[in-house]
């Protein structure tokens, strides 16, 4: 393919003409083996029949003979300009902001690089000379044109985080030696001095190193905890905290202030809790950080929640469901209306499950809306609404307004009060599929919890479609997994539960799993789908014990049983199941 580059400068744009086609598109696709001659002839005939100036590339794509990016690549060759297959590594986040977001989306363009007065821009329609001239004027730079598919450009724009409040860690990360810690010699209560300390290069490097290494190791949270003698830094990896660093305690004020500056928090306020957020770019992908500070007797404890979209957004098959339970769960979430509850303690993966459900249900035919606090992940083609308690925009307020937006599927981040619960149940009874979460220990407890909140039992009996309770357990490390013969009490426990074994598996600990024997996590579940007897019992106000008995007689597999089944399969350990489930 030719590597000729088309450029238009800000000063000479009016004198430049559009690139001219050197080869016919169909002949290039044919020569490159993308289509057959029969397909080309069929597409040409179809193009003639349709009329209205439809392009050959569009016809070939609609007929399924080629993909959009293959057409764009062939067009680039036809016009003698470069073709770019876009990826997060290819674009500089700070250059993307050279053009307004709505302009880029409207015209399917994406600035990629800006070097010495030349801005490289990916075009979905690289022959539009008027658009090229306009971009040259808007950027006051020479425009270098490359071709890319419109879908790739729009996908990149959806992933883009505005450069305001973005810290590019890879640009400033460096080795931080222990001797640099000694630059902070004394604590100070002077805010001006504290801000200067927070901006000192070693502090910047240390804070960025903490974030960088946490993301690299797959941590979900960073805990920075002041003590009398030292500052303890711990990462939560696979649900368990691991101590990583112990800087001198005198560094605490500067570290806390540096993080608060990055999160747009008030460094002068050290007596009250604060919350903030940071966007960082790491390896050319956006990472969201949620920051919380809380004063204790030795300073401010800071916890940073790491939200990495590339690690979290998964499909239902990858969450850990058994084949039978996944089939049943899919049947229930496919219902046209009703209430689906996902329950479990904080950190049990409820949001991840709901996002996976929404991803599966998300089609052009349905209107999906969410009410969240906060919005953790941006979901493509889904309307997400943020709760704001400070201005009175609470869950029930947003939910009631949302019902006037013609939704088909509604996700409510969490049921916290009777008003939200009642509104969600009414929505489920009036033709909407409502997905939400509760903090309960098992699936039957969700019914009694909603009754205690104030929802009438007869409404629950009519509205609940399914209740999924879940926990996250650590996976046995595949790199150091070995079989062993467990003691007699463990063998007896497995046999009594209906999972007889002679050997079990566990990880010995290796470099891959940080010597823990575990690598990654997955879910264990119990799924309650009320039958007619259960619905009648719910309507009549049955207590928790009665609901549990009904669930067991209907064949519901409990959390503990699902966990032990996975212990028998060798993917986790019995100690891990007992750690998260009541024995």
Question: How far is 108 from 68, CA to CA, in rounded Å?
Answer: 14
pLDDT, averaged across the chain: 83
Q: Are strands 285-296 and 274-282 parallel, antiparallel or unpaired?
A: antiparallel
- 321 has pLDDT over 80: yes
Q: State the alpha helices, DSSP H only, in 169-251.
A: 169-172, 191-198, 201-216
Which residues, in sequence order, are CB contacts of 32 under 8 Å at separation 6+?
Answer: 74
DSSP-assigned letters across all residues of 303-366: EEEEE-HHHH---GGGTT--HHHHHHHHHHHTSSSEEEEEE-STTSSHHHHHHHHHHHH--TTS
Q: Under a CB-based contact definition with an 8 Å cutoff, are residues 409 and 435 in contact?
A: yes
Q: Would the pTM count as exceeding 0.75?
A: no
Question: How far is 500 from 335, CA to CA, in rounded Å?
Answer: 37
Question: How far is 551 from 446, CA to CA, in rounded Å?
Answer: 13
pLDDT of res. 140 = 87
Q: Under a CB-based contact definition with an 8 Å cutoff, are residues 302 and 214 in contact?
A: no
Report the pLDDT averaged over residues 267-293. 85
Report the pLDDT averaged over residues 219-231. 89
pLDDT of res. 526 = 95
Placement of tokens 């479609």 in the chain: 465
Axis-axis angle for helices 68-79, 150-159 (nearest 10) = 110
- 187 has pLDDT over 50: no
- 193 has pLDDT over 60: no
DSSP 90: T
DSSP-assigned letters across all residues of 428-476: HHTT-EEEEEE--SSHHHHHHHHHHHT--HHHHHHHEEEEEEEEEEEEE
Q: Are strands 433-438 and 409-412 parallel, antiparallel or unpaired?
A: parallel
What is the token pair recorded at 581?
Answer: 């489930």
- 481 has pLDDT over 60: yes
pLDDT of res. 22 = 58
Which residues, in sequence order, are CB contacts of 564 under 8 Å at separation 6+?
Answer: 494, 497, 499, 574, 577
Per-residue model confidence as pLDDT tens digits over 377-389: 778 889 999 888 8
pLDDT of res. 185 = 36
pLDDT of res. 310 = 65
Per-residue model confidence as pLDDT tens digits over 390-422: 788 888 899 999 999 999 999 998 998 899 999
pLDDT of res. 179 = 43
Per-residue model confidence as pLDDT tens digits over 112-161: 888 878 888 999 888 788 888 889 888 888 888 888 888 888 877 776 65
pLDDT of res. 297 = 87
pLDDT of res. 312 = 58
Ranges 16-30, 50-64, 252-266, most confident: 252-266
Report the pLDDT averaged over residues 553-569. 94
- 291 has pLDDT over 90: yes
pLDDT bracket for residue 89 (50, 70, 90): low
Question: How far is 264 from 262, CA to CA, in rounded Å?
Answer: 6
pLDDT bracket for residue 566 (50, 70, 90): very high
Ranges 61-70, 170-179, 225-234, most confident: 225-234
Question: How far is 244 from 221, CA to CA, in rounded Å?
Answer: 12
pLDDT of res. 9 = 47
Question: How far is 17 from 55, CA to CA, in rounded Å?
Answer: 21
Question: How far is 258 from 302, CA to CA, in rounded Å?
Answer: 11
């Amino acid at each position: 393919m030719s590597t000729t580059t088309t450029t238009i400068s800000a000063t000479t744009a009016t004198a430049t003409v559009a690139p001219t086609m050197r080869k016919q598109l169909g002949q290039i696709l044919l020569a490159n083996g993308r289509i057959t001659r029969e397909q080309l002839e069929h597409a040409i005939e179809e193009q003639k029949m349709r009329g209205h100036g439809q392009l050959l590339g569009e016809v070939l794509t609609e007929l399924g003979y080629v993909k959009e990016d293959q057409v764009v690549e062939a067009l680039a060759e036809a016009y003698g300009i470069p073709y770019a297959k876009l990826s997060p590594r290819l674009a500089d986040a700070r250059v993307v902001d050279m053009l307004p977001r709505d302009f880029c989306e409207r015209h399917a363009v994406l600035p990629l690089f800006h070097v010495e007065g030349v801005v490289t821009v990916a075009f979905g329609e690289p022959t539009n000379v008027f658009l090229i001239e306009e971009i040259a004027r808007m950027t006051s730079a020479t425009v270098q044109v490359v071709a890319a598919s419109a879908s790739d450009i729009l996908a990149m724009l959806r992933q883009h985080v505005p450069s305001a409040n973005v810290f590019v860690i890879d640009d400033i990360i460096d080795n931080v030696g222990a001797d640099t810690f000694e630059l902070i010699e004394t604590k100070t209560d002077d805010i001006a001095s504290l801000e200067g300390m927070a901006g000192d290069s070693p502090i910047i490097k240390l804070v960025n190193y903490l974030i960088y290494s946490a993301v690299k190791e797959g941590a979900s949270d960073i805990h920075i905890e002041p003590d009398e003698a030292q500052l303890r830094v711990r990462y939560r990896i696979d649900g368990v905290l691991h101590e990583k660093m112990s800087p001198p305690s005198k560094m605490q004020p500067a570290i806390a202030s540096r993080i608060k500056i990055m999160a747009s928090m008030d460094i002068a306020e050290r007596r009250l809790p604060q919350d903030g957020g940071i966007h960082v770019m790491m390896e050319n992908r956006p990472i969201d950080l949620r920051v919380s500070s809380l004063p204790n007797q030795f300073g401010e404890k800071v916890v940073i929640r790491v939200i990495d979209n590339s690690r979290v957004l998964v499909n239902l098959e990858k969450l850990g469901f058994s084949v039978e339970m996944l089939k049943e769960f899919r049947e229930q979430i496919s219902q046209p209306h009703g209430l689906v509850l996902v329950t479990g303690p904080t950190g049990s993966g409820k949001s991840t499950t709901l996002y996976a459900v929404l991803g599966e249900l998300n089609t052009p035919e349905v209107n999906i809306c969410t009410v969240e606090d906060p919005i953790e992940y941006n979901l493509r083609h889904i309307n997400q609404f943020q709760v704001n308690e400070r201005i009175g925009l609470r869950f029930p307020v947003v939910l009631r307004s949302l019902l006037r937006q013609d939704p088909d599927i509604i996700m409510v981040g969490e049921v916290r009060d009777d008003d939200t619960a009642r509104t969600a149940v009414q929505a489920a009874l009036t033709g909407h599929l409502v997905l939400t979460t509760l903090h309960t220990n098992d699936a039957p407890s969700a019914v009694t919890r909603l009754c205690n909140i104030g929802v009438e039992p007869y409404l629950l009996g009519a509205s609940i479609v399914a209740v999924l309770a879940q926990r996250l357990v650590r996976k046995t490390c595949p790199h150091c997994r070995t079989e062993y013969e467990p003691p007699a009490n463990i063998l007896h426990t497995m046999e009594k539960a209906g999972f007889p074994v002679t050997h079990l598996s566990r990880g010995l600990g290796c470099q891959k799993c940080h010597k823990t024997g575990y690598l990654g996590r997955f879910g264990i579940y119990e799924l309650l789908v009320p039958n007619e007897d259960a619905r009648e019992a719910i309507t009549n106000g049955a207590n928790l014990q009665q609901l549990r008995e009904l669930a067991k007689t209907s064949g519901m597999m409990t959390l503990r049983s699902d966990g032990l089944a996975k212990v028998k399969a060798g993917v986790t350990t019995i100690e891990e199941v007992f750690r998260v489930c009541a024995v």
